[in-house]
Amino acid sequence: MQHCCDLRGAFLIGLPPGDDTREAVKSVPNDGTRFGFLAAPQQGELIATFLGSEEASRVTCLNLGTSHHYAEQMRRTAGATGVYDLSEITDLFKGRHLPALRSLSLGDMFMLFNGHALYCRVGDITPIFEAAPNLEILDICGAFTLSRPVSHAHLQEFSADIDDIASTAGSISQDTLDHLLASALPSATSLSILMEEDPDHGYRLPENLTHLQAMPRLKALALEGLDPKSQQRLATLQANLPNEG
């Protein structure tokens, strides 16, 4: 258990104890509901076992990502491949059932000191919406794919931070953006996709898109990386959102 720790009740696997917040642990908690796999790109077998276990039916908060500790280990590993690629890990959600899961984070880096986070390529998130029917918060750090529009009754917050400064995050496709905006998310109140601006290219919004009818409760909408005309259409969308009151 030398590479595991407890952080205010969350059991973190792949990060050793340290400072005053990450406490040493001797065993996996029998009644744990908050888990993090912080060497996730290299933990496929362990995560697959977890997702098929009894613990997975109780987990409410799950973090699959990396840390500064993981990054340092990978720098020391000559020829390491797939260091920041979660695609195969995300595929493990296919056919799974996590009824208690409320919050899921994919691709984030646990920061041990100041600096730029190295995000992951997350892969196709489509299976997650079926695997976690009661999910409320989905937080993505890195490029993701959505292979079709989805329907999810309880998702409230969707956020994606896609920053390619470190060349680890990648970028999303126009199809993925189209599928997300066409998804039925009746409980969603916040949708955010932060992307690096590209003066030579921009994502497009449909010309007739003035309302997100399948997201009737949406109150906050942020989309970066749009072409100039789509930025104007985004302003119209934002103006037509329900008032906070």
Beta bridge partners of 61: 34, 103
The per-residue pLDDT for range 97-136, each reduced to its tens digit, is 999 999 999 999 999 888 778 899 999 999 999 999 999 9
Task: Give me the pLDDT at residue 27, please.
Answer: 76
In the chain, the amino acid numbered 36 is G
Kindly give the pairing relationship between strand 61-67 and strand 190-195: unpaired
Q: Where are the domains of the chain?
A: 4-239
R_g over Cα of the chain: 19
Q: Which two tokens stand for residue 96?
A: 């799974």
Q: Is the pLDDT of residue 244 over 60?
A: no
The per-residue pLDDT for range 139-172, each reduced to its tens digit, is 999 999 999 999 999 999 999 998 755 556 678 9
CA 34 centroid distance within chain: 16
What percent of the chain clears pLDDT 70, i.e. is strictly above it? 92
Q: What is the pTM of this model?
A: 0.93
Task: Give me the pLDDT at residue 30, please.
Answer: 75
The per-residue pLDDT for range 222-242, each reduced to its tens digit, is 999 999 999 999 999 999 898
CATH 1.10.357 fits 4-239, yes or no: no
Q: Is the pLDDT of residue 218 over 90?
A: yes
Task: Give me the pLDDT at residue 3, please.
Answer: 86
Over range 170-188, report the average pLDDT.
Answer: 94
